[in-house]
Amino acid sequence: MQRIQERLARLPSEMRVARADEYEAKKALGMANNALMLVRGAVLDTSPPEGKSIAERDAAAVLILEADPQWRRSQEIVARAEDDLVAGKLYVRALEDELSCLRSQVRLITAMMVLMATGTPLEDVPVADLMLDRELGTP
């Protein structure tokens, strides 16, 4: 029980840090995407795509961009920023799941302690099973 209490005491601050990190990752992704668009504009201004139709110009623009090292580096930065954001979201979700599990454990332990204090054998009471089912989302 003491380990649960210690973990419950630390978890809120860890969640605050994880959410702040997730927010920073989201900002970094936005900045990386903005930089990517600036690079795109600069590259295509320097080497404008040629073609008779919009589709031909779009295809030429893709080839020009793919050949440019600055564009490729910018794309890699965006990809890393996306990965960081996903990792941050997964970490926050894991902490939220852990908090939910700890809450369920505390409720179950509390219910068992109340039953033991009243002298009721745990095997005779289906309440613990009902409590677990509610925590798992079933009616």
CA gap 47, 26 in Å, rounded: 31
Does the structure show a pLDDT above 50 at 44?
yes
DSSP state, residue 50: -
CA gap 20, 60 in Å, rounded: 41
pTM above 0.85, yes or no: no
For the chain, which residues make up each domain, given as ranges?
A: 2-135
What does the pLDDT average to over 34-39?
97
